[in-house]
Structure 1
Amino acid sequence: MARLLLPLPRAPCSCFRALLASLLLVAALQLLYLGLLSAMHGRQQRLRYSRLFQAGGRPGAALGAGAQGGESQSREALTLGPGRLDPSGRYRLYRDVSRSPVSREAGDLELSLATHSSLHNLHHLPGLARRWQGPLAVAVFAGPGELSASLQLIHNLEGHCPCLRGRVTFTLVTPSGLPEKGVAPEPGGGERQGPGTQDPQVGEPPDPHPACRRALAQLRRYSLGRTNYALSAGPYPNNLLRNAARQALPSRHVLVIDVDMLPSAGLHPGFLRLLDDLTRSAESGPGADRTVYVVPALEMRHTRRLPQHKAELQQLYQVAEVQPFYAELCPRCQAPTNYSRWINLPAAATAATSTSSTGPALRVAYTREWTDPWEPFYISRTTVPPYDERFEQYGFNRISQACELHVAGYTFAVLDNAFLIHKGFKLASEFHPQKDEENRRNRILFRQFKQDLKLKYPDSPRWC
């Protein structure tokens, strides 16, 4: 019986505790390893993105004037402030994030250009700024995790490309419900790498500044392979972006175009001279406030050098290297411009005597009444009605404003020696798969929009 009272051996219990402690130690080491791996991955991602904009090819090279390292840029993005919400509450806008703001003196802002872009399409901007010669506003759409990267890109472009400094103001637009992660996105969806523009540098003279050329070359490689409006960040709010860019500069007149288009050389100074002529002539009456000046839009094969003046354009048009904008996708959308009449207007004398600093002599060639489904590009006073921000993605976004201008009593005056050129032919086969569904959805919205116009302009004899 005494033997039964002896204590049981404790060896098994000690072994169990040692095994448990070992398992906990292994688990702790695994968690530490995963934490270190995650931090290292984040640093690699930031380094990978920052290499896109370095002046040299080595990691850690200086980013040029006006640029800093990726981590400091991420901290700077967090100091942007709350921004402001758009009327729908779905988007947040950060105005004037440029490091070299555009002068806002009244005399400097008779005419500005407004455009919009995603992060992956900003490589078009320096070429556009060089061709335009005047103040320019761009609204940049930043998706999930792209706010810091977009701010870094903007500052780096300003630092590398002198043509942007003091001439371009930037507005950042981002979905309001998406937190900023401060990490550059992986290659994926982009706003629009337009059809026929696989290499947007083709046809353009190289940027005269080597640092700008290197930054743009790296950025273009990052942008290759993206499809129209194929965004992972949700719908692309093109009309909201157009309005944001228009409102960024208090100019009296504005030309709103897409970032992958170029105006004819000297359009900015040429139109200013036209305004002076109209002011001195009998044509500047009360109706001048209700006139928009149509700039004919065309598209060109991406293998050709982009024409600067109409005489060059006419030659390319004759050999079918240039055609009306949307010639394949929607011929009726541009037909009222009457390209056959416009292209045969004389241009050789004005183009031969003009320079890029003065621009060709411009005049109103003829006027057209708006007819459905015309969606022209035009220079207008900034007092015209804004774009309807309910239209997003593809379809009916620009035509909605042209339709409203018609109902509101505006006249469409076609300019003779001014034009816009799109880089590459627009081809139906190169659009994203959701294009038709987006177009159908916006067509339904457009019907509602036209009914709304009847209530907004009850005394107008016009309709669309």
Structure 2
Amino acid sequence: MFLPVKCSVFKAVLSALLLVAALQLVYLSLLSGLHGRQQKRRYSQLFEGSEPKGGGGGTGAGRRQSFVRGLAAGGALDASGQYRLYRDVSRSLVAAAGERADLLLATHGTVNNLHHLPALVRRWRGPLSVALFAPAGELPEALLTLYRLSLHCPGVRELVTFTLVTGSREPVSFPAVPEDEEEASWDPGLDLDAEPEPHAPCRRALVPLHRLRSRSRNYELANASYPNNLLRNAARAGLPARYVAVIDMDMLPSGELHRRFLELVSGPGPGTDPGLTVFVLPALEIRHSRRIPADKPELQRLYQVGEVRPFYDELCPRCQAPTNYTRWINLPARPGLGVAYTLDWRDPWEPFYVGLGSVPPYDERFKQYGFNRISQACELHVAGYTFAVLDDAFLIHKGFKLTSDFHPRKDEENQRNKILFRQFKQELKVKYPKSSRRC
């Protein structure tokens, strides 16, 4: 006869627990939204309205001292012992805050690629990590370039963490800054990106960089091999982050991608297992004379007239074909960012993506040209990942990729890495013995 009372008490307790759980979910959702708005305001203040105090980097003496401290620790050797990594060499403010980033953009390059960085900072408006490779003979030039960018370009000191990578035996010290540092004049003929730098001190800092643009072609370095996968891993590790996107430095993301992606993953969910999903950013390339589009409608118009095409369309169309650009470019518009469709990986797809910071690292044995990004995508597939293509986000490479852009040893390097890739695939069978997936 006591059963109805017990049942009523149980229902009351259960209802209370459910109510508490619901309130907790609402609280977490509001907290996440508040954090996102705070981050947006924090980063937007660097680019909107008046220039931050110090022009983006404080005094020259203070900046030099930051670099001296960054180099004083002596760096750390990589696993092979061939390279030395100097992390946070510029002592950036985003790293000094000691917080994990919600979403990090990671990229890499040599000193002649750094003229792309200010535009990337303006477009991304969130934490960035750059791994800069400086072989023998380029160290003084590389350090002076990082100094100039962090001193004169808005957002660089605040948002960008630099990892300097050089040969393990190279002596490294901060060079003397020329006395006429402020005297460089801007030559409009140097600005070939159709993305003019709006901040005058940053324009002056970019003058020597634009003069270096044609110094060497892709991966054509004197007495050095470009360790692209080591650099990708170093950039990923440059700042702790929940999500990371790894791209090439001569690319730009679609507008507001940082904010929109965080809204996607903090909302009801993209409909896939976030632990085993990477979110594909369709990659395209644009004719060099064209202004880089910020949104998809503008991109679609340029695509229809042949001014934009899939990335690597001339060099390796199969490397991006699984993205299915015809399907993607014609997707109906809808509010917000979402997952358009999911795909299984197939050889030789090498997508760019946003993934958790815990995704498998790149295999650092791959250097120079060929199979470096494909190997990591292959491992994600074997490890069980799903590739979810985002509907309204993309990457744009500045300029069409042409066969003539590459150095004479490209095919030789590709063949050497092809042999390594065969070995790599056999190793994956041992690393993931329970997986039925193969590359």
Query: Is residue 149–residue 182 contact of structure 1 (8 Å, CA) maintained in 2?
Result: no
Separation in 1 of the partners of 2:243 and 2:191? 28
CA contact (8 A) 2:66 2:90 kept: no
| Structure 2 counterparts to residues 111-126 of structure 1, below 5 A | 111-126=103-118
Structure 2 match to 1:67: 60
Match of 1:324 among 284, 299, 310: 310
- Give me the whole-angstrom Cα distance separating, in 1, the residues matched to 2:79 and 2:358: 19
1:312 matched residue in structure 2? 298
CA offset digits 1:394-419 (Å, max 9, x no partner) = 11001110000000000000000000
Counterpart among 268, 275, 285 of residue 258 in structure 2: 268
Matches of 2:72 and 2:309, distance apart in 1: 44
- Cα displacement string for residues 377-403 of structure 1 (whole angstroms, at most 9, x for unaligned residues): 000001010000000011100111000
User: How far apart, in 1, do the equivalents of 2:164 and 2:227 lie?
Assistant: 12
Question: What is the one-letter code of the residue matched to 1:67?
Answer: G
Q: Secondary structure at the match of 2:347?
A: coil
Whole-angstrom CA distance in 2 between matches of 1:223 and 1:258 = 15
- Per the TM alignment, residue 66 of structure 1 is displaced from its structure 2 partner at its CA by 4.2
User: What's the CA shift for 1:79?
Assistant: 4.8
The match for 2:17 is none
Which one of the candidate residues 197, 200, 203 is aligned to 2:194?
203
Q: After alignment, is 99-108 or 298-307 more displaced?
A: 99-108
Select which of 229, 232, 236 maps to 2:219: 229
8 Å CA contact 1:146, 1:183 repeated in 2: no
Number of residue equivalences: 372
SS at match of 2:261: helix
Deviation digits for residues 182-241 of structure 1 (CA, Å, limit 9, x no counterpart): 779xxxxxxxxxxxxx9674221x222101012113321133342111101410001000
Deviation at 1:154, TM superposition (A): 1.0
Match of 1:252, SS state, is strand
Give the equivalent residue in structure 1 for 2:360: 385
Deviations 1:90-137 (A, max 9, x none): 000000112433157687611010000111211111100110111000
Provide the rounded CA distance (Å) in 2 between the counterparts of 1:178 and 1:117.
18
Match of 1:85 among 77, 88, 106: 77
Q: Indicate the residue corresponding to 2:377 in structure 1.
A: 402
Shift in Å, 1:74: 13
| Cα distance in structure 2, aligned partners of 1:147 and 1:404 | 34
Structure 2: distance between partners of 1:127 and 1:233: 30
**Pairwise CA distance, 1:364:** 0.1
8 A contact 1:95–1:170 mirrored in 2: yes
Counterpart position of 1:426: 401
Matched AA of 2:239: L
Give 2:438's aligned amino acid.
W
Work out the CA distance in 1 between the residues paired with 2:241 and 2:204: 33
Change (3 A) 1:75 1:368: closer
Q: Which of 267, 274, 280 is the matching residue for 1:294? A: 280
Give distance in 2, aligned partners of 1:199 and 1:296: 30
Give the Cα separation in 2 of the matches to 1:370 and 1:290.
Answer: 13
Change (3 A) 1:181 1:423: same
Change in Cα spacing, 1:79 to 1:398, as seen in structure 2 (3 Å) is closer
Q: Any idea what SS the aligned residue of 2:158 has?
A: coil
Cα offset, 1:170, TM superposition: 0.4
Matched residues in 1 for 2:192 and 2:99: separation?
Answer: 34
Taking the aligned partners of 1:432 and 1:200, their CA distance within structure 2 comes to 24
1:145-164 aligned within 5 A = 145-164=137-156
**What SS does the corresponding residue of 1:366 show, helix, strand or coil?**
strand
For 2:97 and 2:295, locate their aligned partners in 1 and report how far apart those are by CA, in whole Å.
30
Match of 1:166, as an amino acid?
E
CA shift at 1:148, angstroms? 3.4
- What is the alpha-carbon distance in structure 1 between the residues aligned to residue 310 and residue 69 of structure 2? 41
- Alignment check: 8 A CA contact 1:144 1:181 kept: no
What is the aligned partner in structure 2 of residue 411 from structure 1? 386
Q: CA RMSD in A?
A: 2.5
1:222 and 1:429, CA in 2 relative to 1: closer, same or farther beyond 3 A? closer
Q: What CA deviation, in whole Å up to 9, does each residue of 1:290-315 have, x standing for no partner?
A: 00000000000001111000000000
2: CA distance between counterparts of 1:435 and 1:216? 29
The CA deviation at 1:78 is: 9.6
Question: Aligned letter for 1:96?
Answer: D
Q: Aligned partners of 1:108, 1:208: CA distance in 2, in Å?
A: 30
Q: Is the 8 A contact 1:114 1:137 kept in 2?
A: yes
Q: CA contact under 8 A between 2:143 and 2:175: conserved in structure 1?
A: no
Q: Quick one: which amino acid aligns to residue 379 of structure 1?
A: V
Q: Does 1:174 align with 2:154?
A: no
Query: What residue number does 1:139 align with?
Result: 131
CA-to-aligned-CA distance 1:222-279 (integer Å, 9 cap, x gap)? 3334211110141000100000010111110000000000000010000001001244
* Change beyond 3 A, Cα 1:107–1:143: closer
SS in 1 for 2:342: strand
Unpaired stretches in structure 1, ≥5 consecutive residues: 1-63, 185-197, 351-360
Q: Which of 84, 87, 91 pairs up with 1:95?
A: 87
Query: Is the alpha carbon distance of 1:448 and 1:209 closer, same or farther for their aligned partners in structure 2, counting shifts above 3 Å?
Result: same
Partner of 1:356: none
Q: Is the 8 A contact 1:77 1:148 kept in 2?
A: no
Aligned twin of 1:29: none
Q: C-alpha separation between the residues in 2 aligned to 1:73 and 1:420?
A: 36
Structure 1 residue 80: Cα displacement: 2.6
Counterpart of 1:342 in structure 2 is 328
Q: Which has the larger radius of gyration?
A: 1
Q: How far apart, CA to CA, are the structure 1 residues paired with 2:349 and 2:190?
A: 29
Distance between the aligned counterparts of 1:133 and 1:160, measured in 2? 17
